[in-house]
Amino acid sequence: MEQYTTGYSPNTSLAMIAEWTKAKGIWEKLAAGVHIQQKVVRHTPHEKLKDLMINIWAGGEGVADVNDRVRTDEALQKLFGRKACAEQSTISETVNATLAINVKEMEAVVKQVLQECSQCYRHDYEKKRMLLDIDLTGLLAGKKAEGSEKGYFSGERNARGRQVGRVLASQYDEIVCEQLYPGKVQLEASLLELVKLAENVLDLDENRRNRTILRVDGGGWNRQKHKLASLAGLLDSDEGQELAKDTKVGEDRQSLATPA
């Protein structure tokens, strides 16, 4: 295991992210909004969550990568104001100590940051309609992982995993919201929930809903179109088709929009 103790770091490109989090007070928002009840020995739960976020930005794919990507890189720690990094096993303990209420608290913090910093939340609905793409992405996982089930995973046979449902603001390349589902879940079963989550994050009132286009795979739409129409009055729109062409998204999508 190589340890970077000379001030050199292969992750210096993260300096911009480090400065952005400092300027926007991201860590202060996290500490004020998320309250994980856990005994503090050396690192607080918020510091461990911070180490975990740094690990993700540094390319880590799991909690165990913290030891190789962050704990051994003192320069990277200093970039984010950390004097030391928690050991991966203690970070796992903090994650395991997280309750459903803490997840809700984290969602509230993420919503606050998105509304303060994103382009999609400041979208000018009068000038142009908002385009939201909704889809599921399969993530492979082991048999013992929570929610891991056999389901559809592109290019894989008899695979297990989970599904991540995302709502994307396509004009800005930004994720509005996302939700984790068991591996068997298909878009038709999660579409309504994802639409409601996006509506909450973007504060879509009646006027904004009337200027929003939802674009989903045909299967998910066909099975939920009546409920969605009841929720937001969605109808086919020529303008929706034109916007789909502008954003260069595949023809296998169906564009839907509310009337002006």
Structurally, the chain folds into a number of domains equal to: 2
> Cβ contacts of residue 174 below 8 Å, gap of 6+?
114, 118, 119, 120, 168
Each residue's pLDDT tens digit, 228-239: 544 544 444 444
3 state SS for 60-106: CCCHHHHHHHCCCEHHHHHHCCCCCCCCHHHHHHHHHCCCHHHHHHH
pLDDT for the residue 202:
95
pTM of the predicted model over 0.85: no
Closest CA to 133 of 35, 1, 221: 221
Task: Decide if 112 is inside a domain.
Answer: no
Looking at the fold, whether 187 and 223 belong to one and the same domain comes out as: yes
Task: Decide if 144 is inside a domain.
Answer: yes
Q: Quick one: average pLDDT of 248-254?
A: 37
Each residue's pLDDT tens digit, 111-134: 999 999 999 999 999 999 999 999
CB-based burial, 14-29: b 16+ in 10 Å, e otherwise: beebbeebeeeebbeb
pLDDT for the residue 252:
36
d(CA 213, CA 19): 35
Q: Quick one: average pLDDT of 73-86?
A: 91
pLDDT for the residue 61:
85
pLDDT for the residue 110:
94
pLDDT for the residue 255:
36
Q: What one-character DSSP code corresponds to residue 14?
A: G
Looking at the fold, whether 160 and 68 belong to one and the same domain comes out as: no
Looking at the fold, whether 217 and 132 belong to one and the same domain comes out as: yes
Each residue's pLDDT tens digit, 181-193: 998 988 888 888 9
pLDDT for the residue 25:
92
Each residue's pLDDT tens digit, 7-56: 667 888 889 999 999 999 999 999 999 999 988 889 999 999 999 999 99
Looking at the fold, whether 188 and 152 belong to one and the same domain comes out as: yes
pLDDT for the residue 106:
93
Domain that holds residue 250: 126-257
Q: How many residues are listed for the chain in this entry?
A: 260
Each residue's pLDDT tens digit, 149-160: 888 888 888 889
